[in-house]
Structure 1
Amino acid sequence: MTAAQPSGVQELILVRHGESVGNVAATEAERSGLEVIDLETRDADTPLSRLGAEQAAALGSWLRGCSRDDAPEAAWSSPYLRAVQTATIAMREAGSGLVLRTDERLRDRELGILDLLTTTGVDARYPAESARRRHLGKFYYRPPGGESWADLALRVRAFLGDLDRVEDGRRVLVVAHDAVIMTVRYVCERLSERDVLELARHTPVRNAAVTRLVRTTDGWSATAVNDDAHLVREDTPVTQHPGDRDALPH
């Protein structure tokens, strides 16, 4: 007698957005030792870079090549522009007829007063916050006006609970951000604080890379992590901008 298929979403296809203009600006500011990231748009309106759009198109070629048993049956995205652009370009390239839905709970982690500051900038302008972060640790530290990773986990749990009801039995594409994808893994795979921070430290999510989580009667398991073979096949440069370091937009 075979075990009954668990209810809810059957597979999560998690994709980080393509390289954004903010990724490029933040990396350059860190490299140059600047205190402030030169970015005019608010985080929600930061678009893809030209390379990011190419990465999204390469993701679309991967979607087009998925078999019927592997292709997503629903598509969701963070409402932030870079994520919506990634999903839209990829789905257009794939010739997908799926309707893209957004949910604000998939937005990137909010940094409050640290927004647009580099690590150097936080140390220089808010030394007490730097010390508080070191004391509390990355998972529980909440910048004033912002969110901790624990806060992010609350909204991710709420989103996943609703998704189980709306997309019961389906494979779902979710296009979001580095910290969000790590937090989905933390929740679904029942990782510890140490586990998820080790993943973030050593395996940051690459732009337009694919992570697949499959649900079984025993829970969720990852069948692919940070897969960027589609970028390589399309001769599209792979980018690995720093993960969530409390002072960088992603």
Structure 2
Amino acid sequence: MEQLEWLAVVRHGLSTGNVTAQEAETGGAELIDIPERDADVPLADLGREQAEAVGRFLVKQKPRLAVVSPYLRTRQTAEIALGESGVETIVDERLRDRELGVLDLHTARGVQARLPEEAGRRARLGKFYYRPPGGESWADVLLRLRALLREIREDHPGERVVLFAHEATVLMVRYLAEGLDEQRLMALAHDTTIANCSVSSWRRSGDRLEAELFNSVEHLHREETPPTRQEDVDDQPV
């Protein structure tokens, strides 16, 4: 199977949910007060500006295909970034954010206070394999991403493709593209906050993809403070 020429993944711009979650974490709250369901959280005004900056970056990269998470904040990012470029765009539910089940809308403090048994189970199993009731493990998300990337390679061999997705997705695409293991992925997740509208990319070298950029924000107008890490609540909401 022919390799892609270039693959990039863009995390969506700053969302209203990111702002609310950061305020809840820093304020010591146990719950995050977001009225919309996760799929309907929109971009904040700053997130729209960030998406415009991504668009200026992508003009130079000339992607042929964009594959987009169905979540509103991600679709808005892609729509703003791609504008009238004519890039073929596909919305695919396999790029949706990780589903958190009972952990949804809990801060790190809230999980420890309200769901101590789940906190203990996660600590024992590790984040890679821990599946919250009603939600997904990181391994579950990797299954759908692996299938999606295989399909993209089969249908668009040798092309330049950009994905618009979520924080955890960026880390998991790197896991797949570079053949990482659980330990290296979890170390990345612990040490790295994937910035809103950051770009991570890989370029073909022979029959494999080689890393080009990771979590790059040089294309943004100005430095933005990334959302507060939630080391105990993965990607809420991202």
Segments of structure 2 that go 5 or more residues without pairing to the other structure are none
Check if 1:83 corresponds to 2:74. Answer: yes
Check if 1:167 corresponds to 2:167. Answer: no
Check if 1:193 corresponds to 2:182. Answer: yes
Q: Which runs of 4+ in 1 moved over 4 A?
A: none
Deviation at 1:203, TM superposition (A): 2.0
Q: Aligned AA for 1:144?
A: P
**Following superposition of structure 1 onto structure 2, how do residues 136-175 of structure 1 map, counting pairs within 5 Å?**
136-175=125-164
Segments of structure 1 that go 5 or more residues without pairing to the other structure are 1-5
**Following superposition of structure 1 onto structure 2, how do residues 118-133 of structure 1 map, counting pairs within 5 Å?**
118-133=107-122
Counterpart CA distance in 1 for 2:3 and 2:32 is: 41
Deviation at 1:62, TM superposition (A): 1.5
Give the total of aligned pairs: 236
Using the size of structure 1 for normalisation, the TM-score is: 0.90
Counterpart CA distance in 2 for 1:13 and 1:222 is: 10
Q: Aligned AA for 1:240?
A: P
Deviation at 1:167, TM superposition (A): 1.5
Deviation at 1:10, TM superposition (A): 2.2
Counterpart CA distance in 1 for 2:32 and 2:65 is: 35
Check if 1:13 corresponds to 2:8. Answer: yes
Deviation at 1:44, TM superposition (A): 0.4
| Contact map agreement 2:4 2:159 (CA 8 A) in 1 | yes
Counterpart CA distance in 2 for 1:85 and 1:144 is: 30
Using the size of structure 2 for normalisation, the TM-score is: 0.94
Match of 1:177 in 2: 166
Check if 1:220 corresponds to 2:209. Answer: yes
Deviation at 1:187, TM superposition (A): 1.2
Describe the SS at the equivalent of 2:132.
coil
Deviation at 1:243, TM superposition (A): 6.1
Change (3 A) 1:244 1:215: farther
Which residue, out of 203, 224, 227, partners 1:238?
224
Change (3 A) 1:28 1:88: same
Could you say what the CA RMSD is over the residues aligned between the two structures, in angstroms? 1.5
Counterpart CA distance in 1 for 2:77 and 2:225 is: 15
Counterpart CA distance in 2 for 1:137 and 1:8 is: 32
Check if 1:97 corresponds to 2:83. Answer: no
Describe the SS at the equivalent of 2:219.
helix
Counterpart CA distance in 1 for 2:212 and 2:193 is: 17
Q: Aligned AA for 1:30?
A: E
Q: Deviations over 1:180-206 (max 9, x none)?
A: 111111111110111111111212211
Counterpart CA distance in 2 for 1:45 and 1:116 is: 14
